Structure 1
Amino acid sequence: MASFPVFSQVDYHIDLTQGTQHLAQVSASFPMSKSDTLTLNIPSWRTGKYVIMPIADGIRQLQVTDEKGQALPYKRTASGEWQVSLSQPSKVQVRYQLHANELGDRLRHIDDSHAFLDASGVFMYSPEFRDEPITVQLNVPGQWQSHSGMASGEAPHSFVADNYDVLVDSPIETGLSQSYQWQLDGRDYELVIWGEGNYNATQMVADLKKLSPTATAIWDDYPYQRYVYMVHATSGARGATEHLNSTIIQRPRFRFGAREDYVAFISTASHEFIHTWNVKAYRPEGLVPYDYQQEAITDLLWISEGSTSYFQRQLLLRAGIINFDEFAKDLAKRIDTHLNTPGRKIQSVAEASRIQWIRRYGDYAHNHSVNIYAQGYLASLGLDFEILNSSALANSYRDVHRQLYRDFKVPKSFNSADVLTILNGLHGRDYQDWWQQHIESPMNFDFKAMLLQAGFDLSHPTDAKVLPSMGLKLKANEHNALIDVVDKYGAGWRAGLTSGDEIIAINGFRVKAKDFTARLKDFRVGDTLTLDYVRRDQLQSSQIILDAKYDKPLRIKPVANPTREQKAFFEAWLGVNWDAVMSANKRRR
């Protein structure tokens, strides 16, 4: 039987009144299909988290009926797919129980105080009707308030979307929450906070107001008329995810108050705000359109995530939300971490993008891999400095993203060749060799020389001490000295140690995890020690020659007497005045 779509709408209803056990009842009404089979799917991943997830496991008690209420036969054809048999054209009603307790995944969470609903984990869809209009009706306890980036429907606690893609990218927060609204430059904004904590909502709103106008430093306009910040103050869950015109940010409830904690929060808000352009408005090939049922491979996730990280504190600095010390401390930490990651010599940032879906963590990742966020940040930094130098400060990496937004708005997409075309067009230079050297191959930047161009010294503090090191990390919260990570080619690696070994004694004397660092201070760099350790329940012994490490990380400080050229480079790089920023920095210390 031939298949063709019928223009109508898909209606969803979810009952959230019995949330204590994280359960809800979901129903979906699909228009009449002219096919003899209706495919139903629940996504296998959610946008912003590039990994296949067991989303379909949250669906139980599936019932499928026709428009007369008669049961329709169906069979499961994949973990997130069902095929419904239709003997004749009919509308289809779907009902199922949903279990939602994935708060930390920012996918779905229902309890007696709220529900956070990312449609990827909640609402089945049919590919046949993916492009049709959608309504969502919530049935919630009496005191709850409902919020979303979607437009509100006519009934309370209801929303409407142009299609399933909009629904997927417009999560719903409903429950007992605080809400703050404001307008800025003709656009509407909202901050919704669920959970108690030591946050200062007044400060959050004030700084979010300062953040929004800084976007024009990179892009020509705004891809939204309304933007919603959703914040969860949690009992431990953390993380954030960008959406079409909203974001969800999670932090432990008492990790807002201290200055360092607040800067981390507002940096996350800036990161997700930037994603409204970089990822949501323009994104690489393979991610347009989203294939919700399988992974999509691209070599440019480092631009999607790493470049977003690169810009996030720049905008905060422009807005006066953070000072330069806070900006520099973050940058220095990133460089220090990079230089102490053996995997930087093994894997390129392009390859890290390609394997993000199967990325591993722990010892192997540390020694053989990089991640798209950290390495993508530094690739963006290196590319920015290369553009600034090659164009005599006439262009910067911001121009690349401005052009991507102009030329490749979704439903278009871009690839590496498109990025190179933009780069080559900035000032007539061919960037192919640079791209091959630093993007397709493991990067090797001279960060000290780079930052000196902008008037900064990258070095360890003058009071930093050189300490002996075994080149390994112990597992956190362990009483015994159980090895978690061994640096490739470091002292532990050369001594034959590996992850999972349990160190019992140093030079014949027993050692516990809590005493490990103090014991090492009794020795000097270059000393040879005897380690007794357990592997596969057997006692073993090795000789280890101690390496050196600094007791304090790298730091970035302004040079004493910056030249006119260094100040000009700084201002072209970050878009702020050297003298004004440094003066403000001194006043805030």
Structure 2
Amino acid sequence: MSPTVVRYRVSLPRPHTHLLEVEATFPEGEATLDARMPVWTPGSYLVREFARHVQDVTASTVDGTPLLVRRVDKQTWRVDAQGQAVTLRYRVYCNELTVRTSHVDGTHAYLNGACVFVYTDATRELEHHVTVDAPPGWTSFCALGQRDGAFVAKDYDTLVDSPIEVGPHTPLTFSVAGVSHEVVVWGDTPADPERLCSDFQRLCEVQARLFGGLPMSRYLFLLYLTDKGRGGLEHQSSTALLFPRTGLATGRGWEDLLTLAAHEYFHLWMVKRVKPRALVPFDYSKENYTALLWAFEGTTAYYDNLIVRRAGLMSAQRYLTRLGETLTALHSTPGRRTQTLAEASLVSWVKHYRPDENSPNSAISYYLKGEVVSALLDLELRRATRDARGLDDVMRLLWERHGDGSGVDEDGVEAAASEVAGVDLSAFFERALRTTEELDYSVLSHVGLEANFRPRESASDRGGTPPKGKATEARPKGWLGLTLKGSATVATVLDGSPAQDAGLYAEDDVVALDGWKADGAALVARCEDKRPGETVRVTVFRRDRLLEVPVVLGAKPAEAVWLSRVDRPTEAQKAAYQSWLGAPWDEAPGAA
């Protein structure tokens, strides 16, 4: 056995118990061996305490002589190694099917390295080998190369960044820029796997052209089709995608899957290689703070729709509709007036990933506002350079200078953008990142567009489209100012709303309106039938006590946003629009 290798053996003797058995062997050298389990996984900025799922830890020499092992804190096991090689054996409970955790059952095993493999500080830079003892008929899939039947990672960081899927799967394959790509699907196989591969291939090709090639020798998509849930987590040469299987049957659902895949693939460059310097190297034992998540996640969110558009899988008009929906989500969040975008990035550890009933009032998503700021930045760059350059050039500049993983300083993205623009953009960034002022949408005029605002027309109204008719605008509708969950439970009472002023609470269960039974949908509809200034009586159960709360209705705020074209565009605006979205100004709405 090589003295310079950390070796793991993983087995699943009883997958229905959701238990994974791990054997970790560390080479000789340490007098005291402290084996640690990460508390978070890169790409998901929340302390998840993975060690809570570890049990039955024992230690021995490689020849089997037992060694004393004791737990010294929430994540560390200490062995008096006396310089000998040490083998730790432990089991991990894996029954949380998300892209950030691990899941083992009778159908498969998804192993996310941060919650499976312990490490030591002294051996993090060594090669790490993983052998998987798969059940009969199952195959192990991982982006890592193999040697002598083991997956080989050059160091612990690479191992953590290389999830393993084990199961009776048959992968789908395609190639981009000479690089092999595999798609491994758990759950029901999509009805049209050829379309899935074809569309994924087009998304990857667009990004390969943007950056001038691919930074890896092979790539693995792990796609988990479930009954609910949506999410993705990027890795160095792979990604895990969680998506509701029913969504694949609708046009919007398919569009959402493509944007999710495009988002995670974009992270091959931004996050996995170009990353904030504050994350170099990762500290797996605690929070790693940076104010740059708006750029690395928000900018990626901007590109995910744009890449689908560039791949010809979304029309220009549909792209504008989705951007309007994003703007609507931003303007429907009172927290944008409370938390800056830079702060949202910095405190994601306690805000974004730990939402509560007051989060819409106190916080803003760095994904959401970051996407909008990135769109405006792209247009600012295009306006400053007369469409000679744009955000693509900033991405390529960051890739050229920081693609080696050395890290970007906290002001590095702003400096790169100003360099590309050829003008000082500090005023733009100061307003967008470090104040809670409303964003300036006047730059939309560069591409012949303008932002319009209207009240939402129903609870399901996402915005993005103009009002349906003049009747909608003619009579103001009554507004309570709360959101609901389930059939009639108050989820959030919005800041400054009539409901807040009247004293309605989150977790109130709505029973009736003006003495008549009302569930959530009826409550909203019947309030909208009334006018601002009218008083309604909302009957609720609060901690099992029946209460009646009078509420003076307000006017529905104009928070739904849609983008429209200016009436008399100049030729310069038409050309700028086409340069940005790759579609002629006069293209028919809905055309690809």
TM-score, structure 1 normalization: 0.92
Residues 517/434 of structure 1: CA separation in 2 closer, same or farther (3 Å cut)? closer
Partner of 1:468: 478
Q: Deviations over 1:465-518 (max 9, x none)?
A: 25321111122x23xx33211121122122232322344443344433353133
SS at match of 2:67: coil
1:19 paired with 2:15, answer yes
For the aligned residues, what is the CA RMSD? Answer: 2.2
Partner of 2:463: none
| Correspondence 1:414-425 to 2 at 5 A | 414-425=408-419
> 1:396–1:572: 8 Å Cα contact kept in structure 2?
no
Q: Deviations over 1:89-138 (max 9, x none)?
A: 21111111221112125421111111111111111111111111121111
1:578 paired with 2:570, answer no
- Tell me how far 1:148 sits from its aligned partner: 0.9
Indicate which of 20, 32, 38 corresponds to 2:33: 38
> 2:379–2:446: 8 Å Cα contact kept in structure 1?
no
SS at match of 2:412: helix
Residues 278/173 of structure 1: CA separation in 2 closer, same or farther (3 Å cut)? same
Partner of 1:530: 537
SS at match of 2:66: coil
- Tell me how far 1:586 sits from its aligned partner: 4.3
Which shows bigger deviation, 494-503 or 136-145?
Answer: 494-503
Q: Deviations over 1:420-472 (max 9, x none)?
A: 3223322442222322221111242243x333331234335242525321111
CA distance in 2, matches of 1:145, 1:443: 53
SS at match of 1:254: helix
1:258 paired with 2:250, answer yes
SS at match of 1:358: coil
Residues 199/468 of structure 1: CA separation in 2 closer, same or farther (3 Å cut)? farther
Residues 197/546 of structure 1: CA separation in 2 closer, same or farther (3 Å cut)? farther
CA distance in 1, matches of 2:160, 2:498: 49
Corresponding letter in the other structure for 2:394: V
Unaligned runs of 5+ in 1: 1-5
> 2:328–2:559: 8 Å Cα contact kept in structure 1?
no
Corresponding letter in the other structure for 1:256: L
CA distance in 2, matches of 1:13, 1:471: 55
1:452 paired with 2:462, answer no
Partner of 1:303: 295
CA distance in 1, matches of 2:404, 2:77: 29
Corresponding letter in the other structure for 1:473: T
Partner of 1:395: 389
- Tell me how far 1:288 sits from its aligned partner: 1.2
1:93 paired with 2:87, answer yes
CA distance in 2, matches of 1:552, 1:358: 27
SS at match of 1:32: coil
Partner of 1:3: none
SS at match of 2:264: helix
CA distance in 2, matches of 1:316, 1:571: 16
CA distance in 2, matches of 1:15, 1:79: 25
| Correspondence 1:367-516 to 2 at 5 A | 367-447=361-441, 449-459=442-452, 460=454, 461-464=466-469, 465=472, 466-475=476-485, 477-478=486-487, 481-516=488-523
1:68 paired with 2:63, answer yes
Residues 105/179 of structure 1: CA separation in 2 closer, same or farther (3 Å cut)? closer
Partner of 1:314: 306
> 1:178–1:194: 8 Å Cα contact kept in structure 2?
no
> 1:131–1:162: 8 Å Cα contact kept in structure 2?
yes
SS at match of 2:92: strand
- Tell me how far 1:560 sits from its aligned partner: 5.5
Indicate which of 45, 49, 52 corresponds to 1:50: 45
Residues 427/322 of structure 1: CA separation in 2 closer, same or farther (3 Å cut)? closer
- Tell me how far 1:199 sits from its aligned partner: 4.2
Residues 208/444 of structure 1: CA separation in 2 closer, same or farther (3 Å cut)? same
Unaligned runs of 5+ in 2: 455-465
CA distance in 2, matches of 1:363, 1:565: 47
TM-score, structure 2 normalization: 0.91
Partner of 2:460: none
> 1:467–1:525: 8 Å Cα contact kept in structure 2?
yes
Partner of 2:204: 212
Residues 197/457 of structure 1: CA separation in 2 closer, same or farther (3 Å cut)? farther
> 1:506–1:530: 8 Å Cα contact kept in structure 2?
yes
> 1:231–1:248: 8 Å Cα contact kept in structure 2?
yes
Corresponding letter in the other structure for 2:77: W
- Tell me how far 1:587 sits from its aligned partner: 4.5
Residues 342/95 of structure 1: CA separation in 2 closer, same or farther (3 Å cut)? same
Corresponding letter in the other structure for 1:507: D
CA distance in 1, matches of 2:591, 2:404: 44
> 2:99–2:242: 8 Å Cα contact kept in structure 1?
no
- Tell me how far 1:257 sits from its aligned partner: 1.8
> 2:478–2:529: 8 Å Cα contact kept in structure 1?
no
Indicate which of 226, 233, 256 corresponds to 1:234: 226
SS at match of 2:182: strand
CA distance in 1, matches of 2:560, 2:156: 47
SS at match of 2:214: coil
CA distance in 2, matches of 1:571, 1:416: 33
